[in-house]
Amino acid sequence: MVTSPLPHPITGQPFPSPVPPGTGWPGDPATPATPVAHSAGEVAALAGRASSGPDLDAMVSVCRACPRLVAWREEVAATKQRRFLGEPYWGRPVPSLGEQRPRVLVIGLAPAAQGGNRTGRMFTGDRSGDWIMAALHRAGYATQAESWAAGDGLELHGVRIIAPVHCAPPGNKPTPDERAACGGWMDRELVLADSAESALVLGGIGWQAVHAAAARLGWQMPRPRVAFGHGAETTFLRDDGTHLRVIGCYHVSQQNTFTGRLTESMLDEAIGRL
């Protein structure tokens, strides 16, 4: 279902929901000719062909490999939350955000239905985004503390934000098969981001996902694996001999930030170790 066009909150350009690729949405990496994956096998094949971050971002942003996620993201885009009824929704997979040759990776879980699925940008338009972007700004990695819409002027320096799952999942819970399918994109993302020296992993699912990706890539890691926890640290040895330090942090979800399980000082301390 595609809805009537509505004006983008920054540019004013009208877009239907979900947004067709290559139609002018700020930061859209795809074109109408970008190849589309319709299965986990096609994800792996297309990801393996990506020679750069922009190539990978484009293919991620049009992926249709997981029927349940496609249906959900597009239903949310068409129906909209009441307070956003006057805005178009991206309604597609959300690509990674930030520098193509980063020193630091930030690894989350999946876009929020009313956040990244609406705005088309990682950690944008919701409370989780408010927390992580404000912290990155305090640490000098982001040009501004606010992240409310694609095209709002935000830039990241030295950082790339990636996710194990690129579509908003129902109940914020992707299935194991959906995580496995999206793993093909993540594997290639980690290979292309070989400049990264450290990674901040938000939450236990992200911790599991990055360990699984490292294992698939043949990277060496401590045995037994280091268990997730806030402040946990491990190191991966890539096949080229370089290291990636991996630091665990409670996710910036409201269930952690509203309850005080994760505080600003805890988040700042974790980022300070990168």
Model pLDDT for residues 9-63, shown as the tens digit of each residue: 999 999 999 999 999 999 999 999 999 999 999 999 999 999 999 999 999 999 9
In a domain, 1, yes or no: no
Within a domain: 247: yes
Q: Is residue 54 part of a domain?
A: yes
Q: Is residue 95 part of a domain?
A: yes
Report the number of distinct structural domains present in the chain.
1
Token pair 């503390």 is found at 145
For residue range 118-137, what is the model confidence (pLDDT) as tens digits? 999 999 999 999 999 999 99
Beta carbons of 69 and 167 less than 8 angstroms apart:
yes
Residue 157, in any domain of the structure:
yes
CATH of the domain at 165: 3.40.470.10
Cα–Cα nearest to 244, from 268, 219, 271, 208: 219
Q: What are residue 191's phi and psi, to 5 degrees? A: -65, -45
**Rounded to the nearest 5 degrees, what angle is found at the Cα of 268, between the Cα atoms of 103 and 230?**
90
- pLDDT for residue 11: 98
- Flag whether 153 is in a domain: yes
How confident is the model over 94-118, as a mean pLDDT? Answer: 98
Q: Supply the mean pLDDT for the chain.
A: 98
| pLDDT higher than threshold 90 for residue 195 | yes
Write down the pLDDT at residue 33.
98
Mean pLDDT of 137-159: 98
Report which of 92, 107, 102 is spatially closest to residue 59, judged by C-alpha positions. 92
Q: What is the pTM assigned to this prediction?
A: 0.96
* Structure confidence by residue, pLDDT tens digits, 241-272: 999 999 999 999 999 999 999 999 999 999 99
**What does the block give as tokens for 257?**
């930030």
Its domain, for residue 26, covers 6-272
**Cα three-residue angle 212-95-7, rounded to 5 degrees:** 150
For residues 2-9, average pLDDT: 92
pLDDT for 3 equals: 84
Q: Is 223 a member of any domain?
A: yes
Q: Cα dihedral angle (12, 17, 23, 24), rounded to 10 degrees?
A: 30
Residues 6 or more apart whose Cβ sits within 8 Å of residue 111: 94, 117, 122, 163, 166, 167, 168
Backbone φ, ψ for residue 249 (5° rounding): -150, 140
What pLDDT does residue 2 have? 73
What share of the chain in percent tops pLDDT 70? 100
Residue 170, domain member (yes or no):
yes
| 215 contacts 236 by C-beta, under 8 angstroms | no
Judge whether residue 199 has pLDDT over 90.
yes
- Cβ neighbours of 196 (radius 10 Å): 23
Check: CB of residue 152 under 8 Å from CB of residue 123.
no
